[in-house]
Structure 1
């Protein structure tokens, strides 16, 4: 998995630029969180597939799989991302996305408590429909802060591990 590069800092810069779709660090990334009406499912699925392709292309390995434990540990952030991209969605669709994108077999007993907690924190709002509940983003600032904090933590941890590999 580890391949020598000029330096680990350049890999960190490449990952950061790839994650933000930005090759010029001076440009600010604009996130349109929760501002889109319910998106077309095929468009969202294509966008999610493209995002995963970008991740795989940016890493120095072809072996990029997300273990179910990682998905569970980051479930809130993943749910926020999926809901934001879809505009409004329900739990079954989210569980289907988790299975398709991350090959994670998460039960409703894992996903729905996270959705309820995010709703209690006023990050999500829930709309009762006839046979289901639809979730949408309510706290855009909180979503941005949560996603950015998690992203920086993961990038920093990955950078630490990457820096350590030459010492083995």
Structure 2
């Protein structure tokens, strides 16, 4: 193991500590993450802060998201972005994905996912004059889905990191 790398255990401990500290100091519901900050920088500022927290723990120089990774986790990302906005439309979600994750997804990729999430009663859809506004209908499902994806990614990342230390 190289001397300049962080051990898998210390990364996991630090992430756990951050999650516990955030959970204890913040009594609001997980899905309400962006509701209080909309007027002071909004979603972009809040996501930048979250990425900065991860960047301070994970031993990498820059966090980037591969477009394939965004596509593989599209449902979870859409659900989180909708929760952050409280209510939003497809065009704004496409813009968020492009700006925040540098992913250029076609409407033919995003809109069918929104329709399927709506049909599964996970999202509520309200037809407006020229657009459809989406909001979270089933907060428990969203929290469970995001937590499951998070645990899978963390576990896989820690496994890869453990293998990396053996090189």
Please tell me the TM-score bracket, short chain as reference. 0.7 to 0.9
Q: Which residue is 2:10 aligned to?
A: 10
- State the alpha-carbon separation in 2 of the partners of residues 98 and 122 from structure 1: 23
Shift of 1:130: 0.4
Shift of 1:34: 6.1
Return 5+ residue gaps in structure 1 as ranges.
none
Task: Report Cα offsets for 1:111-140 as digits up to 9, x if no partner.
Answer: 111111111111101000000000000001
- Is the partner of 1:61 in helix, strand or coil? coil
TM-score, with normalisation over the residues of structure 2? 0.86
Determine which structure has the larger helix proportion and give its number: 2
> Compared with structure 1, are the counterparts of its residues 151 and 90 closer, same or farther at alpha carbon in structure 2 (3 Å cutoff)?
same
- Is the partner of 1:105 in helix, strand or coil? coil
Task: Report Cα offsets for 1:82-115 as digits up to 9, x if no partner.
Answer: 0001100000000000011110000100111111
- Bigger shift: residues 114-123 or 124-133: 114-123
Contact 1:34 1:140 in 2 (8 A): no
- Is the partner of 2:133 in helix, strand or coil? strand
Q: Which residue is 1:53 aligned to?
A: 52
Shift of 1:60: 0.4
- State the alpha-carbon separation in 2 of the partners of residues 51 and 14 from structure 1: 14
The RMSD of aligned alpha carbons is 2.6
Q: Which residue is 2:29 aligned to?
A: 31
> Compared with structure 1, are the counterparts of its residues 100 and 93 closer, same or farther at alpha carbon in structure 2 (3 Å cutoff)?
same
Return 5+ residue gaps in structure 2 as ranges.
none
Question: What are the equivalent positions in structure 2 for 1:102-121 lying under 5 Å apart?
Answer: 102-121=101-120
